[in-house]
């Protein structure tokens, strides 16, 4: 993953951890990206989180 994309993901994660009531449109406006990009990034986080949780279950 390239650095600008990673920085964008980290900014989104920081915003979501600070305020869980933000709407997709608000985040998109604040980050100057499209709402569709916000949704795609959120789904990417969810897939990675599930992968980590599933991987930990198998490490017994």
How far is it, in rounded angstroms, from Cα 13 to Cα 44? 11
Mean pLDDT for 13-24 is 86
Greatest distance between any 2 Cα atoms in the chain: 44
> Which among 29, 40, 30 has a CA at the least distance from the CA of 5?
40
With a cut of 90, say whether residue 25 has pLDDT above it.
yes
- Which tens digits make up the pLDDT trace of 6-15? 888 888 888 8
- Which tens digits make up the pLDDT trace of 38-60? 999 888 888 877 655 555 555 44
| Inter-residue contact 42 to 49 (CB < 8 Å) | no
* Domain carrying residue 35: 3-57
CATH number at residue 22: 1.10.10
What's the number of domains the chain is made of?
A: 1
* pLDDT (0 to 100) of residue 52: 57
| pTM attached to this predicted model | 0.66
Mean pLDDT for 21-33 is 91
How far is it, in rounded angstroms, from Cα 28 to Cα 37? 8
């Amino acid at each position: 993953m390239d650095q600008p994309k990673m920085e964008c993901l980290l900014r989104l994660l920081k915003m979501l951890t600070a305020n869980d009531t933000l709407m997709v449109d608000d985040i998109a406006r604040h980050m100057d990206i499209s709402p569709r990009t916000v949704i795609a990034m959120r789904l990417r986080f969810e897939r990675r989180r599930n992968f980590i949780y599933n991987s930990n279950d198998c490490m017994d």
